[in-house]
Structure formats: C-alpha cells, structure tokens
Structure 1
C-alpha cells in the first residue's frame, strides 16, 4: 500500500519496529516479503560513505531478544544464495518447494492415477490449481517461465549470451535424469552454433539455473568406494510443469518424468539424494571378465538412515526385473531397497526383501520409506 511505502527505507523500518518491540515483554514476529524491493539510503552520519541497506537494518534488529525475523526474496536483484550470504551464520534457511503430489492431491482429490497424470504434466506450482482449464494452465506456466524466471536471471546475472542460456535450458529440460557434464554440453552447443562456448560459461549458467530453483544437481556416488565422482552428473527440474512449458509440453517420456518426481519427493522429505554406482565382474562371450558399472537411480540419506531406490515404469518380464534388481544385490549391505513402479497399485515384498510399490502410494504415504 502507498501509505506503507516509507518502510522500504531500512532506517524508517528499523525505527518503527524498535518502537513497537523495545520495552515490551511480548514475543514479536516480523515478516518481510520480497526483500529486493527495499531501498538503499545514504548514511546520515556519513553521506559519502557506504549506503545503508536492508541487511544493516535486519542485523540491527537481531539484537532484540523478543523479535523473530522472517525474510523472503526472489527476483532479478535477489535470490536465495544472496540472502543466505548476507545473513551467513546468523540465520536459518527454509526452502519452499512446489507442491508435492500429496499436497496437490489433497486439493484436487478424485482418482489418484488421473491426478498423477495431471501432476506429471502441469507440475506443482500452486497457482496452477486456480487455472480453469488446460489452456490457462499451459499459458500461466509458459508466462511464468519466460516473464519471471528467465528475465530475472538475465537481468540479475547480466547474461550476455541469452541464446546460449536458452539452448542450455532446452537441452537440460529435454534430458532430465540423463548423465551429462558442462564440457559435454559446451561441445554439443559449440557444434550447433559454431561459437567458441567455454565449459566455464556453461558451468556458470547452470549455477544460475540452480540458484533460481529451476534445476537441481545429483552427483554420482560410488556406493562401496564411498566417494563421489567428479563428473558426469544428472540434473532434475524443480517443477515439471515449468520444464514441460519450456519444451512446449512435448517429450512426455514418463520414464524420465517419473524419475524426476521421485527425486523431488525425496528432497521434499529432507533426504540428500545421489545417483548410486556399483560394480559387477561380468563374464564376456570370450570367457574373460569385465568390471562393469551398474546404476542405482537414487541413494537417499537422512541422518543415519539410508535407502536405495529404483524407478521403473514397468517390469513386464524377468529380464527387466533382473536388470532393476541386479544393482541392489551388488551393494553388499542390508539397507532398505525399493522399486517404485507405475504398473502396480498394491505394494509387496519380493523374496529378497525388496519393496515393490506403486508410484501413487509411494508419493502419498509419508511412511513409504
């Protein structure tokens, strides 16, 4: 409101809050939304010196023992890492994710499988639920991606090669859950454009996309060797609706979409998530043995808890089942092992204690892990 615009001045806001809180025995809470809208003002005691910022005001107010301060920020001038950097060691960060499937389903109800299909297509941005039809949902997501996320990144990071950023977005969106690295991406884009695109530029652009909460990086982890690989990594979209909007709601490969949804669910539940790598000595037709790497889709850890998870659209025969189960048998430990599937609805355990569970039940049951 216009009458409150004066509180964008950090000195005015700090003075007002102190007038309400100091000398009062009650507990107070200050919520500041969109911190990037605040102004920088001259220091009245040193007009030619460094300007007073909102962070100066917030750090000053921290001295009040009966005041808790909550700050949110986004946009071209301020994203998550900036806020955390400014208050490093003096604050806690709370990340707010798009709606999980359980949250989404609690709003839409109805058939679980139909709801999952909608969720996989339009994602979990809350305002999607308020759009009346498919066209309105698609238009909203497309506009949100281009008019907010991309413009913010370009302005804030002073991106000179918008075309390269766009091609990177297309590539990552089209290949969620695929192994890649900045060098491979730079080589691919270089071959398309003929430009000398550096690996450092791609690494920097990917970092910007992560900071904007568009993509997350999953590292590869040697389960037995207990070490991380430098490259390649996998990248997952924070919201599949935004991903689908970027690629024009094409390329609906449920295998990768389902894997992305499981990854996001694990993150929301507070797990650290890696891509597991185990090794097998496999016999060649010649009779010799070759050390072969096998992949576990997710190694999820939280505190002292660890669980191995495979994502499988369907297990129609013994060959496919063996392919999914084989990496589990190579871990050499007894941590829980789960196959999340699209082709079943009731969960069951096989003879080796591996839980087979349908994707909807896995996402709706917070105790499924």
Structure 2
C-alpha cells in the first residue's frame, strides 16, 4: 500500500497546493486498513497557501506567516494517523534537514544518503580492486559517475553538478548577491583538504592571495551554508590527554572527492590528502562519531621546556571505547613512520591504534600492538573496526 507523489511531474502539479496534497493522500487511503507508505519527492516545490479561515487584515504583522498553510502543517496532521509512514525528499535550496527537525517538532528522523562507499562503487564498477581504487580517488562516489563509461562525461557531470546544483542551491536559498567570495572560498577549502583552518585565517588568505576583502562573520556564515548543502563536513579537534574539545582551528573534508577534483579541474590530486578524506567519509558512513585527535607533548630543547601538538588523524568514538586511526600513505621511511606513530604511542591509554597505508596490505600488528592495514582492505571490511586482530 504505497502512495507515490512526485511534485515535479506535470500530472501532479496540483498537489503542490498543501490542501490538495492532503486530500489526495486521504483519498488514496480511503477505508483501507493497515500500514500505508507515502513517498513525496521534490517537496520544496510545495507552495504556501492562505488559510481561508483566517482574516489576514486583523493579524499582527509579525504573525502574518501563521496565516498560511504549508506542507509542514499538512504532514504534521497526517502524522496523527498511526497507519501512515511518510518519506520526504527535497532540494537543499528550499529545505534543509534542520528545517525538518524544527517544523516536525521531534516527530521525524533524518535518513542521510551518502555518495557511494568504495565497496559499493567496486560492487558494480566492473573493475578490479586496484583500478577501482584509482577511479574512486579521481571521480568519487556519485552514482552516475560509476555508470558513465566516458571519462569526459564523468568530468562534465561532476562539474555541472557542483556548479548548477550545489552552488546554485546556496546562492538561491541565502539570496547571495555575489557568489565570487563563495566560489573562491570553496576553491581554498578544496585545495587544502584536511588542513587546519578557521574563519579568520580564511579571511586573511582571501585578502593576501586573491585580494578579496571580506569579514570573519561573512566567512563563518558561508562555511555554515557549505555544510548545510553537504559540500563540506567539519571535523572538530579533541585534546586526547586534556579530554576536551579545542575551539579552533578545525578541519574541513569534501563530502565527495570527485566533486572536489572536478571543481579544481583535476589538478592538485595529492593522494595523501584524498586518501585521508575518503577514510573520514567512510567512518561517517559507517555511523561513527569522528574527531581529529591532538596529543600535547612537552620536550626539552636547548635546556628549555617547550610544548608541541601532535596530530592523530581520527578518533573514532564507539560509546565507552575509542579507536585511534592514522592515515599514512606510506611508512616505508623510518623517520616518516616514527612521526606517524609518535602521537599514538603517547596517548596514555590502551585503546586500539591503527595506521592505514596505501595499497592492499592485509592487517598486521607490530610489537607495540599498533595495527597496520592497506586502505583497500580497510574500506572493504566493514567489520574490521569491531574486532581485534
């Protein structure tokens, strides 16, 4: 007993009126008993209509919005029927997940759909693991990308998606008069994936490199818009020994590395940063809460005690347990390896510690209990973090 509504279809345009939408759904249910499932697509096309039971002329100016009926009102009414389950999708330009949470007053939940994981990408790419990994690092996990065989079509699709959907959504929703600052902010963030930053630092970069004058407040707002539109995800930093979050700086990762690469014209494809970004996305996709770890160490240099911060790429939080993960493209150089494992050695606890390297190396453990594994088996084995080696 499925009721499907697609508001972008000409045949169902009348249902953009919330009154008509409610009447249609109730008519489809009729006297039938049992659970009904309602799927409404492109809900942002629904319009506000005046409530005929209210006289707008006598309503205070600050309450004028309450004189109109929206799809939120209709769906809240329908949710009173225990035999209904309602699923809604829409564009970020008119509707955000936080709007849903506010307007449905705790009676809804968000199902977040990520781009394809590497294992999903591999499952229908038709390539072996190694070739699929190179493709995934280059073109990302948007479904149409893996279905499209022509590399130029892949690139064009990603570029158009970034420009005509994501950026356009932000400009339209927030009524930006000039998207020049937004475009260059995106370029800076994409170019420095996984680097520490904050609004003030970004303002300085825009001014010194691109001669663009703006303010911390403007950049902070734009960063929020980019997160809401699912272009970037912000990672907070956590002091491992101090057991507290650090207010600034923080890191931004691309929701999809293919969008990132296309926006930059497939330049600046540093595999170390792309692998780190993909691992971060994979951890979120698996449902983990993820932070960037900071280990503060005191060292005596030339007789003076100096404090230094060492980074653990990811802290995976699993309730009462933690897992520390370093993304290290290569640890063949002994000095590079020591730099990567030093903060893991100095956490002061016995939680699991993992180093993910490039390639297809199966998991193995050193004498200190630090586990090393290639990125390909790490991404393909979803249960790896749930068991000891």
Name the CA distance, whole Å, in 2 between partners of 1:104 and 1:194: 41
Cα distance between partner residues in 2 of 1:86 and 1:362: 40
Tell me the distance in 1 between the aligned counterparts of 2:134 and 2:84: 45
- Distance in 1 separating the partners of 2:382 and 2:276: 18
Pairwise CA RMSD: 1.5
Displacement, 1:147? Answer: 0.9
Aligned match for 1:174, one of 188, 191, 196: 191
Q: Which residue of 1 aligns with 2:50?
A: 42
Equivalent in the alignment of 2:307: 291
* Preserved contact between residue 314 and residue 343 of structure 1 (Cα < 8 Å): no
How many residues in Structure 1 have an aligned counterpart in Structure 2?
Answer: 368
Q: Distance in 1 between matches of 2:237 and 2:316?
A: 12
Rounded to whole Å, the distance in 1 between the matches of 2:53 and 2:299 is: 75
CA distance in 1, matches of 2:266, 2:105: 39
The Cα of 1:268 is off from its aligned counterpart by: 0.2
Where do 5+ consecutive residues of structure 1 fail to align?
A: none
How big is each residue's C-alpha offset from its partner over 1:277-326, in whole Å with a ceiling of 9 and x where there is no partner? Answer: 01222232x24332221110000113333210000100112212111111
Q: Which residue of 1 aligns with 2:377?
A: 361
1:94 CA displacement: 1.2
Contact in 1 for aligned 2:100/2:108 (Cα 8 Å): no
User: What is the rounded CA distance, in whole Å, between the counterparts of 1:209 and 1:318 in structure 2?
Assistant: 39
User: Which of the residues 339, 350, 356 maps onto 1:334?
Assistant: 350
Give the strand-richer structure, 1 or 2: 2
Name the CA distance, whole Å, in 1 between partners of 2:105 and 2:80.
16
- Structure 1 Cα separation of the partners of residues 104 and 207 of structure 2: 39
2:26 aligned with 1:18, yes or no? Answer: yes
8 Å CA contact retained: 1:270, 1:302: no
Equivalent position of 1:206 in the other structure? 223
Going from structure 1 to structure 2, the CA distance change for 1:130 and 1:195 (only over 3 Å counts) comes to closer
Decide whether the 8 Å contact of 2:226 with 2:232 is kept in 1: yes
Of residues 201, 205, 208 in structure 2, which corresponds to 1:184?
201
Match of 2:144 in 1: 127
Please say if residues 209 and 215 of structure 1, whose CA atoms lie closer than 8 Å, have aligned partners that are also in contact.
yes
Deviation digits for residues 256-286 of structure 1 (CA, Å, limit 9, x no counterpart): 00000000000001111111001222232x2
Structure 2 counterpart SS, 1:127: helix
Q: TM-score, normalised by structure 1?
A: 0.96
Instruction: Map 1:271-290 onto structure 2 (within 5 A).
Output: 271-284=288-301, 286-290=302-306
Counterpart Cα distance in 1 of 2:212 and 2:135: 40
Q: Give the conservation status (yes or no) of the 8 Å contact 2:125–2:147.
A: no
Q: CA deviation at 1:131?
A: 1.5
1:321-348 Cα shifts (integer Å, max 9, x gaps): 1111110111111111110000552221
**Alignment counterpart, residue 319 of structure 2, candidates 303, 307, 320:** 303
What SS does structure 2 have at the residue aligned with 1:361?
Answer: helix
Distance 2:91 2:50 in 1: 24
Distance 1:30 1:57, change over 3 A: same
- More displaced, 185-194 or 203-212? 185-194
Go from structure 1 to structure 2 and tell me whether the alpha carbon gap of 1:223 and 1:20 turns closer, same or farther (over 3 Å shift).
Answer: same
Moved more, 127-136 or 267-276: 127-136
Conservation of the 8 A alpha-carbon contact between 1:315 and 1:343 = no
Contact preservation (8 Å) 1:26, 1:66: yes
Question: 1:47 Cα shift?
Answer: 5.8
Whole-Å separation in 2 of the counterparts to 1:357 and 1:243 = 26
